[in-house]
Amino acid sequence: MSLYLEAREVSDEGLRKLLVVQSLRALSDATAQLDLELQEDVAYLANGEYRKAKGRRTELIDEKIASINRCFPVLHQASVARAAIYCEQGEVKAMASALEAYSRLIKQTVGSRAGLLAEFDASDDGTDHGVWRSRAALQLDVSALSKVLSVSEKTFYLEAITDEKEAEDELG
């Protein structure tokens, strides 16, 4: 991310574009690596592989949860940063694609397993506002945005939502 922030300050157009591309590549590489680690750790817990190590089950579960809790926030930030960079560069379709990829990741790793992860994670209170159900709720439906972006003529109207009630009404 620091590379992108530096790129924004570069006056040479060619160098700036190169640095933006490199920052996106670095974020994509980091996202891919963390995505793989997150999927492996969640699968380990979901498949009950910890059961094979008698006497160390709790330790192994805690290690995997700690790893997942390290990966998830960084993965979230990298995904949002990629989308923001695309948006700032005027690449709205790429932004939507990055958000779709992030949503798929959430759905595949956390979405259906939020309850299981909540059981294993001592920091989760098990409610709908707990860590894992809140993270599972980060799934985004950007399919409508993608359809709008595929139309040749586009006009977007943005308005500020002033309170939480209005946000709920707007988002359904």
Domain range summary for the chain, segments of one domain joined by +: 2-141
Which of 155 and 96 is assigned the larger pLDDT? Answer: 96
Q: What is the average pLDDT across 19-33?
A: 93
Q: Determine the Cα angle at 60 with ends 56 and 66, to 5°.
A: 145
Residue 103 parent element (H or E): helix 92-109
pLDDT above 90 (res 119) = yes
pLDDT of residue 145: 65
What is the average per-residue pLDDT within 119-140? Answer: 87
Residue type, 52: K
What value does the mean pLDDT take over residues 101-108? Answer: 88
Alpha carbon distance 52, 65 (integer Å): 17
Predicted local confidence at residue 164, as pLDDT: 65
Residues 6+ apart with CB under 8 A from 19: 3, 4, 6, 7, 10
User: Would you place residue 58 in the very low, low, confident or very high pLDDT band (cuts 50, 70, 90)?
Assistant: very high
Query: For residues 6 and 79, what is the distance between their CA atoms, to the nearest angstrom?
Result: 19
The most distant pair of C-alpha atoms in the chain lies apart, rounded to whole Å, by: 63
